[in-house]
Structure 1
């Protein structure tokens, strides 16, 4: 028993030392690993390079790797190669399951990251999964920040994404210059997992507002109103929202459907919000119904359809 207590005290002291040890701010030209070079990842890498950071990147797409190499980054052949020698590693991947595999799966990046290294998950992951991943990384001396983004590809290109950062305050402060290279608006949301929770909540509210705005236009047009007039009235009245302001005329009424954000990603994020409510024993009927609508649209139109194509689903239902 005495030996067990001694071991526990040693572990607690090591944890305390790790949390109290001052951390150096990651400033350029620090080496940043980047895993996931899709529509969002590529412009984010370019902004890191423009801010003076050294970037090592990996994606399964050879084209994406070639693009970052042309931009001045080091194109790597694996996530482990990316993490080797990196001061921090950013993951920008489709979901938390893939993030977990890349970070702590077989040949995961945690196998080569040194103690005090930082992983920044900028994907849209489930908050509870993020909390669990953080605990597993902490046991190896590695820190985790969850920092999902909002704003779409356009704002990823011009470096004006909104970032919701969760994690230990000192760790978030350490990576702040990295985040600032990609964002003009950074919110410290609280404990680890809170950034992912906030992202899911945001997309639920956005997705619900989109359905309401689109159904409103469909309803008005069926009565005989001009859809353009409906949107104009909504935008100077209490019914305006992100969809009425930056999506209806730009991508929907003209049937362009080219906002650049996939319907499947929206369905996934709203599903994460629904799962969070269930985990917290919160009976939220509107959230459950909104999630079901987006899942049905995904099933009919496909995951890769633009999320503004929800209008087609609602019009044909």
Structure 2
């Protein structure tokens, strides 16, 4: 494999994705602010270095970053490094933003990079850490058909379900809506199962019946059995990240002047949960928060952050009021 890759963002998703590229024979340069992640990547056979050290040696740069703000900052660093040498012989560079970014920012970034003759597509993923590890992610790409075809083999090393959604920005739009739906399903499922439990229906039985009926979702089929019913709450995706994705979707609905209040309602619950639960709480721990308000056990929605630590339900782990 002759292609060289720059991979920026070696987090819980990015690190296993970068490792899969190494397994497929790509020559990969990795970069992250976390030195521990950098060391693990290097020990696996990856190469490390600053952007300016390898930007002229790669054909693709993949971004797996937590927000549009950070993506914009990193893109500027890439442009600064890319323009630092002149008269170089390099195949046209392509940047693939696999982060969860705002579609409007994505379209602006495409125009910005195009003025520097750098190709760009957005290709966010879904599937969580498990599928990042085994290379079976779902990839939702936005960009021209030509650009999608050029990077299709590379994306195939990371995911088993590749979709060309449409023009630039549509991949990030699809991801935001997908995560909004995932959050909505999860919240509704937690409320429904806890209500059933109050009427002496065992949660395991409730989930089994739902999964054989029309109310099933990814939350009931996968998250409840693997992370909630066993109270492991270790999916690898934090509540705060899902809160951020729901906030993004809410803003997209607002910008579109869509006549619905659902995104706002879902965001409010996840925002409250993010403030109440521990800083790095798993997103499936929304189930703990639901138990605090659904049947008026523990804290209520109206109680202030100051009173959250006085929650009478010991099953809910919360931050201290000083945080």
Q: Normalised by the size of structure 1, how large is the TM-score?
A: 0.87
In 2: Cα distance, 1:155 partner to 1:184 partner: 9
1:203 to 176, 179, 184: 179
2:123 to 147, 156, 160: 147
| CA spacing shift, 1:262–1:112, aligned 2, 3 Å | farther
In 2: Cα distance, 1:89 partner to 1:228 partner: 44
CA deviations on 1:72-113 (whole Å, 9 max, x unpaired) are 11111x333342311110010111110110011597555459
- Say whether the 8 Å CA contact 1:160–1:185 is kept in structure 2: yes
- Say whether the 8 Å CA contact 1:83–1:112 is kept in structure 2: no
Q: Which runs of 4+ in 1 moved over 4 A?
A: 105-110, 112-115
| Alignment match, 1:85 | 57
| CA spacing shift, 1:110–1:269, aligned 2, 3 Å | farther
CA RMSD, aligned part only? 1.6
CA deviations on 1:210-268 (whole Å, 9 max, x unpaired) are 01111011101111111111111101011111111111122112211011111111111
- Say whether the 8 Å CA contact 2:56–2:82 is kept in structure 1: no
Matches of residues 61-210 of structure 1 in structure 2 within 5 Å?
A: 61-76=34-49, 78-105=50-77, 108-111=80-83, 116-210=92-186
- Say whether the 8 Å CA contact 1:102–1:108 is kept in structure 2: no
What stretches of structure 1 of length at least 5 have no aligned partner?
1-27
| CA spacing shift, 1:80–1:267, aligned 2, 3 Å | farther
Q: Normalised by the size of structure 2, how large is the TM-score?
A: 0.86
Q: Offset at 1:303?
A: 4.9
| Alignment match, 1:33 | 6
- Say whether the 8 Å CA contact 2:55–2:78 is kept in structure 1: no
Per chain length, whose mean CA-contact separation is higher, i.e. which structure has more relative contact order (CA < 8 Å, sep 6+)?
1
More helix by share: 1
> Does 2:32 match 1:56?
no
| Alignment match, 1:308 | 284
1:214 to 190, 205, 211: 190
CA deviations on 1:256-283 (whole Å, 9 max, x unpaired) are 1011111111111111111111111112
Matches of residues 289-304 of structure 1 in structure 2 within 5 Å?
A: 289-304=265-280
- Say whether the 8 Å CA contact 2:96–2:122 is kept in structure 1: yes
SS of residue in 1 equivalent to 2:99: coil
CA deviations on 1:21-71 (whole Å, 9 max, x unpaired) are xxxxxxx32010000101111111111111111101111122111111111
Q: Select between 115-124 and 295-304 the one with higher mean Cα deviation.
A: 295-304
SS of residue in 2 equivalent to 1:52: coil
| CA spacing shift, 1:105–1:52, aligned 2, 3 Å | closer
SS of residue in 2 equivalent to 1:247: helix
- Say whether the 8 Å CA contact 1:79–1:108 is kept in structure 2: no
SS of residue in 1 equivalent to 2:138: strand
Aligned residues: 289
